[in-house]
């Protein structure tokens, strides 16, 4: 069936708008990448555009040897991996009973959880609670307060409710209990939504910033987001690292180090995304109208 003139105009307009939006996200990122791989002179005089000028790795050598980026990178990985595993485990254990029609008072529990999406205790009461539990300067202060996202839990609950009842009935005939039904039957057919929610949690934990500033006072425990922010805001951090490495100092400028820090912060998520993309497309369609 041929598209009408109005449909063609609509499609073209959509493509143009989406292309502009894609460029607005991609071009600044390409510029940051180019700055991090360019020479100091090219960065100083503003010659760097979308491609590196006088390609070199001096900026990354200084970043690795002159700052605590490796330690912060390991901390970010630790926070993200443990946080995702804990959050997904608790989210699954919360979503499964709420998806069962025979679970007593499931509507009341769902309403109470949705209530937390609208109202919260506030920053000061939350800090007093975390401090009272002795979690300050511990990563548990990052993991526990946001262990479960109500939005993600509702997505997973909706997915469990949409799984064919015949699968559950067949499993129960074979003698499956609740835990075995969840682990061996429901979770294997829920990989799209699990991968999607894991990506949501992973991005949140990888980029956690405000909570790190509030609860983590030990500089050795800071993550990559905080380190990059300090490099951008505090010139003394960059100057000290450049003084400690005089052999590469001549070919490095502050802007190049800042760009390299941003690249190190962004690249891991860009690497992970392609591996979960096939699940992500299916996962985000949960709750849409099926034809």
State the Cα–Cα distance between residues 165 and 106, nearest whole angstrom: 18
Do 167 and 288 share a domain, yes or no? yes
**pLDDT (mean) for 153-168:** 85
Boundary residue ending a domain (56, 84, 102): 56
- Non-local CB neighbours of 265 within 8 Å, separated by 6+ positions: 224, 225, 228
Q: Do residue 6 and residue 102 come from a single domain?
A: no
pLDDT digits (tens, 9 = 90+) for 18-44: 889 988 888 888 888 888 888 777 777
Confirm if 270 and 263 have CB atoms less than 8 A apart: no
* In a shared domain, residues 174 and 217: yes
Report which secondary-structure segment, H or E, holds 3.
none
Do 15 and 121 share a domain, yes or no?
Answer: no
Is the pLDDT assigned to residue 155 strictly greater than 50? yes
Per-residue confidence (pLDDT) for residue 77, from 0 to 100? 92
In which region does residue 287 sit, left (phi positive, over 0), alpha (psi from -120 to 50) or beta (all else)? left
Are 48 and 75 within one domain?
A: no
Rounded CA separation 212/24 (Å):
29
Q: Are residues 23 and 91 in the same domain?
A: no
Q: Could you give the C-alpha distances from 101 to 97, 106, 176, 272, in angstroms and in order?
A: 8, 8, 18, 36
What's the whole-number mean pLDDT along residues 142-151? 88
Residue 96 has pLDDT above 80, yes or no: yes
Q: Examine the fold and report which residue of 19, 35, 56 is the final residue of a domain before the chain moves on.
A: 56
One domain for residues 51 and 86: no
Number of structural domains found in the chain: 2
CATH no. for residue 66? 1.10.3720.10
CA distance 249 to 231: 16
> pLDDT at position 86, please?
94
41 and 73 both lie in a single domain: no
Confidence of residue 64 (pLDDT cuts 50, 70, 90): confident
Tell whether 28 and 81 lie within a shared domain. no
Whether residue 272 has pLDDT greater than 60? yes
The proportion of the chain whose per-residue pLDDT surpasses 70, expressed as a percent, equals: 88
pLDDT at residue 80 in the model: 92
* 154 vs 43: which has the higher pLDDT: 154
* CA 132 – CA 188 distance, rounded (Å): 40
Q: Are residues 158 and 217 in the same domain?
A: yes
Average pLDDT, the chain: 81
Residue 114 in this model has a pLDDT that exceeds 80: yes
Q: pLDDT at residue 249 above 60? A: no
Cβ–Cβ < 8 Å for 36, 260: yes
pTM for this structure? 0.82
Contact predicate 178/252, CB 8 Å = no
Q: Which domain holds residue 139?
A: 59-291
Residue 287 confidence class, pLDDT cut points 50, 70, 90: very low
Rounded average pLDDT over 81-105? 90
Tell me what pLDDT residue 237 has: 56
Same domain, 20 and 42: yes
């Amino acid at each position: 069936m041929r598209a009408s003139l109005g449909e063609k105009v609509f499609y073209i307009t959509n493509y143009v708008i989406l292309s502009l939006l894609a460029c607005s996200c991609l071009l600044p990122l390409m510029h940051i990448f180019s700055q991090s791989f360019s020479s100091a002179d090219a960065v100083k005089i503003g010659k760097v555009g979308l491609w590196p000028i006088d390609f070199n790795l001096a900026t990354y050598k200084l970043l690795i040897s002159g700052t605590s980026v490796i330690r912060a990178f390991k901390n970010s990985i630790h926070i993200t991996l443990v946080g995702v595993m804990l959050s997904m485990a608790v989210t699954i254990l919360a979503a499964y009973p709420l998806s069962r029609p025979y679970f007593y008072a499931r509507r009341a529990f769902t309403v109470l959880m949705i209530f937390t999406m609208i109202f919260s205790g506030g920053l000061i009461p939350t800090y007093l609670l975390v401090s009272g539990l002795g979690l300050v300067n511990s990563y548990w202060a990052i993991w526990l307060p946001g262990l479960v996202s109500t939005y993600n839990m509702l997505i997973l609950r909706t997915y469990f409710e949409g799984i064919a009842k015949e699968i559950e009935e067949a499993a129960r005939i074979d003698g499956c209990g609740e835990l075995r039904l969840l682990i061996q039957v429901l979770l294997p057919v829920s990989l799209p939504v699990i991968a999607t929610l894991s990506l949501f949690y992973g991005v949140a934990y990888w980029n956690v910033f405000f909570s790190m500033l509030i609860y983590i006072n030990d500089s050795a425990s800071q993550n990559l987001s905080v380190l990059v922010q300090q490099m951008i805001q505090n010139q003394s951090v960059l100057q000290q690292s450049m003084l400690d490495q005089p052999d590469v100092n001549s070919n490095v400028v502050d802007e190049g180090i800042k760009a390299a820090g941003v690249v190190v912060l962004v690249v891991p998520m860009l690497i992970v995304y392609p591996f979960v993309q096939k699940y992500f497309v299916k996962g985000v369609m949960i709750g849409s109208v099926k034809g």
